[in-house]
Amino acid sequence: MESKVWGYCRCSTNELKQDVQYQIDALMDKGLDVSNIRYEYISGRKEHRPVLDALFEEMNEGDTLIVTDITRLCRNTKVLCEIIDLIIAKKFRLIVGSIDIDCRNGSLDPMIEAMLKVNGVFGELEAKNKRFQIKLGLASAVSKGKKLGRPTTSYNDIPKIFMQYYPKYKNGSLNKMAFARVTQLSYPTIYKYLGIVENSK
């Protein structure tokens, strides 16, 4: 069976906040067919990523997996070590940025393995530092009397552009996607405003 080259992309939050397209573009620049690229929106700290897990099941011995950098693969050193063990056991080739981890002979160069794990440790450290800084910022805000959480939106807060096109949505002239496009509001915002309007009746 001819070996395949796969790509994997990941962002921590959904496509409305982060976009994996730049990762997809980078993989396609390396010659990957878009049909062989998988992506998902999930935290890199999670031990199990459904799309990545399914991809590892789909891959065959001798196949290659390419990711743009180690943090896209995971931000958990324990999980990274498990992935390295799996790649060795299944005789895959993993390319992380410019690092070529070729385990198709069932082994891995110790220096490359060490380099990969060091990068993984720094990726996990970066994520932990971000969470720590956010925690400090929230604690500081609370100490200054600020109320945390999203501000409550009332009927009067709904912009005029929404109300202008709302009748067309109600009579079926616009679906939610078109409603979002003509008002230049995000899909979640449209849902939120629709809930407020409907509950106010």
- The answer as to whether 129 is a domain residue is no
Taking every pair of Cα atoms in the chain, the longest distance, rounded to a whole number of angstroms, is: 68
Q: Catalytic residue at 43?
A: no
Q: Specify if 141 maps to a domain.
A: no
**Last residue within a domain, chosen from 84, 108, 124:** 124
Q: What is the DSSP letter of 62?
A: T
For 114, residues 6+ apart whose C-beta sits below 8 A from its C-beta are none
- Checking if the pLDDT of 18 tops 70, the result is no
Q: Assess whether 88 and 181 both reside in one domain.
A: no
Pair 163, 85 in one domain:
no
Supply the DSSP string of 21-54, one letter for each residue.
HHHHHHHHHTT--GGGEEEEE--TT-S--HHHHH
Kindly name the residue from 3, 12, 43, 107 that is annotated as catalytic. 12
Listed ranges 3-7, 44-48, 131-135; the one with the highest mean pLDDT: 3-7
The total domain count for the chain is: 2
Strand-strand pairing, 99-102 and 93-96: antiparallel
Q: Is residue 167 part of a domain?
A: yes
Q: At 2, list the tokens.
A: 């001819």
Same domain, 115 and 164: no
Q: Average pLDDT, whole number, for the chain?
A: 82
19 with 113, same domain: the answer is: yes
Domain assignment of residue 96, given as a range: 5-124
Whole-prediction pTM value?
A: 0.58
Strand partners of residue 11: 41
R_g of the chain, CA atoms, integer Å: 23
Q: Give residue 99's Cα distance to chain centre.
A: 22
Q: Are 166 and 112 found together in one domain? A: no
Is 66 part of a structural domain of the chain?
yes
pLDDT digits (tens, 9 = 90+) for 109-140: 777 777 776 766 666 667 667 666 767 666 66
User: Looking at the structure, do residues 19 and 62 belong to the same domain, yes or no?
Assistant: yes
| 8: enclosing H helix or E strand | strand 5-11
Are 118 and 172 in the same domain?
no
Say yes or no: 161 and 116 in one domain.
no
